[in-house]
Chains A and B, each alone.
Chain A
Amino acid sequence: MELIYFLIETIAKVVAVFACLMAAVAYLTLAERKILGHIQVRCGPNRVGPFGLFQPIADGIKAFFKEDLVPARADKPLFVIAPMISITAAISLFAVIPFGEYIELFGRRVSLVIADLDIGLLYVFAIASLGEYGVVLGGWSGYNKYGLMGALRAAAQMISYELALALSVMGVLMIAGTLNLVGIVQQQAGWHWNLFYQPFAFIFYLVCALAEINRTPFDMPEAEAELACGFNIEYSSMKFALFFMAEYAHLVAVCAIATTLFLGGWDGPFNLPPALSWIWFVAKTGILVFFFIWERGTFPRLRYDQIMRFGWKFLLPLTLANIFGTGLYMILTG
């Protein structure tokens, strides 16, 4: 009986999270275009429905009915699998992210996380780097020189920044002493956010996350100006839409993880009932997402060698120094 309850509970949570995530991703595309538009002192899409609110639906229908091209010399299985890997990895990240405290339903206490894994953070890093395979394989299998260049850059950038990303989170782990994301959030309750203890780690995390999700100023794999969209150059129709969705899902995931690790997850100033604690989580994630869109409208793309140099010669030593400083502080204060 307990097993059936567990199954129903998990499936319900999965469906809810998946639906919310897909809606968020769809409307994030609109939000991004709107915000970028207003940053550039124009309106953004406002023709489809009131304030352009039906734009994502129109985009979805358009993507669905477009011709699905596969290049003649492409590696077909890989070409088809690559976008699936991307989107699967991006969505799977949400399995361990706690988005709220708990909720009382039918006399049962349902914790608002799909899987309360003890190695949650490890899982996050494993899955996040898996998503890069989609980009690399997608660029490589299309039999296109620009795609290949994009894939190579993606691989190099992933290795460089994955390292710094993991190291930047290390300080939080040292404070928390656990890889369990729920545990990390619970330790931050009552304004003991890791942001105040690890401010530099937070900044490093944001920078590395930008590189991890291939966003400006680190959007080397798809640099429009030089690679003509890079890894997804040969993709059309729903396969392209999958890459697109994966990109935004990954963006939300990265922001959600930052919220969990540094901004105290569901913890907030007014004592909301536990069932509504997810509001804080959504708000904090939304602010981070807005920042990511905002900086996209601000910073130009870096040159490839600059990105590599920045990753290895600047971020890596600084994150190491941050770990060293955290350790020193912990030893000195006991």
Chain B
Amino acid sequence: MVISLLTGIWWFIKGIGLLLASVFALLKGLRLTFTKFFSRPVTIQYPEKKRAVAPRWRGIHYFKSDEKGDTCCVACGLCVVICPSQCIRLVAVELDGGERYPEIYEINTVRCIYCGMCAEACPVNAIKLGRNYEFVDYQRANLVLDKGRLLANAPKEV
């Protein structure tokens, strides 16, 4: 009789303890969200503020231009060979002086995986990957970069 009474009291105390513990846990959660409510949002307001990209960021390609404003590409075709997604189309011609020149140079950026192998393979550092990542269009055809657009993509300060 006494023992059963004592066990009853024990269970009661245990239950109260459990209740208090769980209520305390709820209050702890509330405190956490309350402090977070007054903390500064981590959002970057995108179109107004832009996130600085890493120095090694690989964005849209561009052609480095020589002193005449033309590309210094020598149409060796190494980028075409190394490109894993085979998105570069190159038609080379031979100029009067005997040097090779890219008649057509197109990068299909829809297929491109931005691995940067073309820039690594280029013997004259003509093709490079820029820092720009804002490159969208409604038409797939507009996402194919030709020579002129590649030259225009070059960063301004360089």
Interface residues of A (CB under 8 A from B): 35, 37-43, 46, 294-295, 297-299
Contact = CB atoms under 8 A, between A and B. Distances in A.
Nearest to A296: B33
Nearest to B23: A203
Contacts of A297: 33, 37
A43 B43 contact: yes
Interface string B32-51: 11101111111101000000
B37 A298 contact: no
A42 B30 CA distance: 18
A294 B43 contact: no
26 contacts: A35-B37, A37-B41, A38-B36, A38-B37, A38-B38, A38-B41, A39-B33, A39-B37, A40-B36, A41-B36, A41-B39, A41-B41, A42-B41, A42-B42, A43-B41, A43-B43, A294-B30, A294-B33, A294-B34, A294-B37, A295-B30, A297-B37, A298-B30, A298-B32, A298-B33, A299-B29
Contact of A41 (B30, B34, B42): B42
B136 interface: no
Contacts of A38: 36-38, 41
Given A39-B36, A294-B33, A294-B34, A299 B41 contact: no
B26 interface: yes
Nearest to A297: B33
Nearest to B19: A314
Given A42-B43, A299-B26, 10 more contacts: A35-B37, A37-B41, A38-B41, A39-B33, A40-B36, A42-B41, A43-B43, A297-B37, A298-B33, A299-B29
A298 B33 CA distance: 6
CB-based closest 5 A-B pairs: A298-B33, A43-B41, A39-B33, A298-B29, A43-B43
A244 B116 CA distance: 50
A148 to B, nearest CB: 32
Contacts of A299: 26, 29
A35 B38 CA distance: 10
Contacts of A43: 41, 43, 45
Interface string B50-78: 00000000000000000000000000000
Interface of B: 26, 29-30, 32-34, 36-43, 45
Contacts of A37: 41
Contacts of B42: 41-42
A46 B47 CA distance: 13
A40 B33 CA distance: 8
B33 to A, nearest CB: 4
Nearest to A46: B45
Contacts of B38: 38
B32 to A, nearest CB: 8
Contacts of B45: 43, 46
A292 to B, nearest CB: 12
Most buried by A among B33, B38, B41, B43: B33
Nearest to B28: A298
B49 to A, nearest CB: 12
Contacts of B43: 42-43
A37 to B, nearest CB: 7
B39 to A, nearest CB: 6
A4 to B, nearest CB: 50
Contacts of B34: 294
Contacts of B37: 35, 38-39, 294, 297
Contacts of B39: 41
A298 B36 CA distance: 11
A37 B33 CA distance: 11
A295 B30 CA distance: 7
Contacts of A46: 45
A204 to B, nearest CB: 13
A48 to B, nearest CB: 14
A301 to B, nearest CB: 14
A208 to B, nearest CB: 16
A191 to B, nearest CB: 25
Contacts of A39: 33, 36-37
Nearest to A35: B37
Contacts of A41: 36, 39-42
